[in-house]
Chain A
Amino acid sequence: MSKSWDVSEISKWGWSKHPVGAVIPEPATTNRYVTGGWRSLRPILDLEKCVHCFICFIFCPDSSILVENEKMDGFKLEHCKGCGICAQVCPKNAIHMMNEAEALGLEQCLLPDDDKKDKKEDKSA
């Protein structure tokens, strides 16, 4: 793919700057759109229990199950809406849903400062 379409200033664009016919000129631009903020519950993976069967993967409505080196590797938190389906379908009970506020609290303690900033910025989209 060529250089990606920069829409960071789109709300200020004049009419002539939009692609003709308002065509979205490249695929999967939602990769840059955060829906993780919708979440009130957060899925938490217990890697000890996980058998990497990927049942959760095929049922996630938000394409938010991360797979790394053919292993279940947690959740794409920018997109996961916390529906809890993965926790329901996991045959090993390897996922549980945790209150998002609580999870955020934990995260704030664990994350390096830079990451925290990044998280905030994306919300504007």
Chain B
Amino acid sequence: MAIKLSEIVKQKELLAGGHRMCAGCGAPIAVRQVLHAAPQDAQIVVSGATGCLAVSTAIYPYSAWQTSFIHSAFENASATISGIEAAYIALKKQGKIGKDFRFVVFGGDGGTYDIGFQALSGMLERGHRVLYVCYNNEAYMNTGTQRSGATPMGTWTTTSPYGKGSSGKTQNRKDLTAIAAAHNIPYVAQAAVHHWRDTVAKAQKAFAVDGPAFLNILAPCHRGWRYPMEKTIELSKMATEACIWPLYEVENGEWRLTGKVQNKQELRGYLKVQGRFSHLFKPENEGVIEQMQEFVDQQWEALLVRCGEK
């Protein structure tokens, strides 16, 4: 499938402007890239987990969604959309609905890795035809930057602060993309906003499968990561170049690297440009960056093996 921006710009914009996400936020970029991959003749229903996106894109009486949209709570976006999809199947069978519908969840890493994990797992296991998209900014940003299960080790957040006895978050993040893949669903992928073509391609595949699909999209947050807002795309790129956020897909159980890294960068450079890691460059936190690097290297190597690159 050739993906052309000259075609994409002709499509209807499914996330209108006028929402109240911060200027320069990565999340709406992820949303737009995914929705521009939706089949043009299909109607879309979006279920949003509580988070920046849900509360900033639907502020009564203003909704940015050109699609149908529902936000019911934080931990249950997957369960909510399961019900919607079931209603669609029921009403379609009865001949009450003729149109083709697609169902998408957008949840942050809090709503996906942590509080919404059970409902997500249930939905994937039951096989609903739903595309779940995690816009991952590696912390609870809606409540002002608290650690999540997606926050990398060493990161400063308001609940993993650094101090005399702490150098930021002490635990490594969990590998949710791999966990989603372990549900043996037709399509799982990890993407990042800077590589729009890769993200759109993955979202197209995800929309095409007849079953659940899961996309974990890195969507940098300049407020929580502490970098200048115009650098969102650059930060996303740096993350994949440092291999802390590799791009890959798992299609019917086949692991494949989609973003070949020509010149793997040291983590240090990526950390250096973000305020959330600034404490790591102080003498008292010596060694943490090395530990982080070690984890990234080990994960990266394992991924290369899984993807048949090694």
Q: Do A and B bind each other?
A: yes
Residue of B nearest to A84 (CB): B230
Residue of A nearest to B17 (CB): A79
User: B230–A87 contact, CB under 8 A?
Assistant: yes
User: A30–B16 contact, CB under 8 A?
Assistant: yes
Cα distance A22–B67 in the bound complex, in angstroms: 17
* Residues on the B chain within 8 Å of A34, using CB: 18
* Residues on the A chain within 8 Å of B22, using CB: 81
Near A by CB (< 8 A), chain B positions 1-20 give 5-6, 8-10, 13, 15-20
Binds A, one of B25-33, B119-127, B142-150, B209-217: B25-33
User: B233–A30 contact, CB under 8 A?
Assistant: no
Q: Does B98 contact A (CB under 8 A)?
A: no
User: B232–A85 contact, CB under 8 A?
Assistant: yes
With A54-B9, A63-B15, A79-B18 in contact, is A29–B23 under 8 Å at CB? no
Cα distance A76–B67 in the bound complex, in angstroms: 21
User: B196–A59 contact, CB under 8 A?
Assistant: yes
B6, B21, B27, B36 interface centre (most CB from chain A within 10 Å): B6
User: B29–A35 contact, CB under 8 A?
Assistant: no
With A62-B28, A82-B23, A85-B233 in contact, is A57–B5 under 8 Å at CB? yes
* Residues on the A chain within 8 Å of B32, using CB: 58, 60-61, 63
Shortest C-beta distance, A75 to chain B (Å), equals: 10
Cα distance A48–B208 in the bound complex, in angstroms: 40
- Per-residue 0/1 for A26-61: is the Cβ within 8 Å of any B Cβ (1 yes, 0 no)? 011111111100110000000000001111011111
- Per-residue 0/1 for A76-119: is the Cβ within 8 Å of any B Cβ (1 yes, 0 no)? 10111111110111000000010000000000000000000000
Residue of B nearest to A52 (CB): B6
With A32-B18, A83-B229 in contact, is A7–B8 under 8 Å at CB? no
What are 15 A-B contacts defined by CB distance under 8 Å?
A24-B62, A27-B63, A27-B68, A29-B63, A38-B23, A57-B9, A58-B29, A58-B36, A58-B196, A61-B27, A63-B17, A76-B17, A78-B18, A81-B22, A88-B230
Shortest C-beta distance, B84 to chain A (Å), equals: 15
Shortest C-beta distance, A83 to chain B (Å), equals: 3
B6, B32, B63 interface centre (most CB from chain A within 10 Å): B63
User: B61–A5 contact, CB under 8 A?
Assistant: yes
Known pairs A61-B23, A63-B13, A81-B24. 16 more at Cβ < 8 A?
A10-B61, A24-B60, A27-B67, A28-B64, A29-B63, A30-B63, A31-B18, A32-B62, A54-B5, A58-B29, A60-B32, A61-B21, A61-B25, A67-B10, A81-B23, A85-B232
Chain B: interface size category: 35 or more
Cα distance A60–B23 in the bound complex, in angstroms: 10
User: A30–B18 contact, CB under 8 A?
Assistant: yes
Cα distance A87–B9 in the bound complex, in angstroms: 18
With A27-B63, A27-B67, A31-B18 in contact, is A61–B26 under 8 Å at CB? yes
User: B17–A55 contact, CB under 8 A?
Assistant: no
* Residues on the A chain within 8 Å of B25, using CB: 61
User: A33–B62 contact, CB under 8 A?
Assistant: yes
With A30-B19, A34-B18, A88-B234 in contact, is A24–B24 under 8 Å at CB? no
User: A88–B233 contact, CB under 8 A?
Assistant: yes
